[in-house]
């Protein structure tokens, strides 16, 4: 009887430790979605969200270098030319 109780307790502890294992509940960065991967579908409309990509563009005027932000997804300039 003692061996049976001891075996049952060990089995219970083993099962409990397997179900409460933190590695089974971890969320890894590779499992997440970025906003560019999300597609929302409704009955009459399809909406796709894209992340904006903003880059610096440079130009030289009279030997001075200037920079300005450019939104490549919307193909629009942001702000004004400033000295770099």
Strand partners, 71: 54, 76
**Cα first-last separation, the chain:** 83
- What is the number of helices (H) and of strands (E) in the chain? 1, 5
Q: How many CA atoms lie within 13 A of 32 on its CB side?
A: 6
Split the chain (84 residues) into runs of 10 and give each run's mean pLDDT. 78 71 53 53 62 88 91 89 90
Residue 77: per-residue pLDDT: 92
Residue 31 pLDDT: 47
- What is the reported pTM? 0.41
So what's the pLDDT on residue 53?
86
């Amino acid at each position: 009887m003692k061996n049976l109780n001891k075996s049952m307790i060990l089995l219970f502890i083993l099962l409990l430790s397997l179900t409460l294992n933190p590695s089974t509940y971890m969320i890894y960065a590779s499992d997440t979605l970025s906003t560019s991967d999300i597609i929302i579908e409704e009955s009459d409309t399809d909406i796709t969200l894209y992340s904006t990509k903003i880059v610096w563009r440079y130009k030289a005027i009279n030997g001075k270098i200037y920079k300005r932000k450019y939104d490549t997804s919307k193909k629009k300039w942001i702000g004004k030319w400033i000295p770099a």
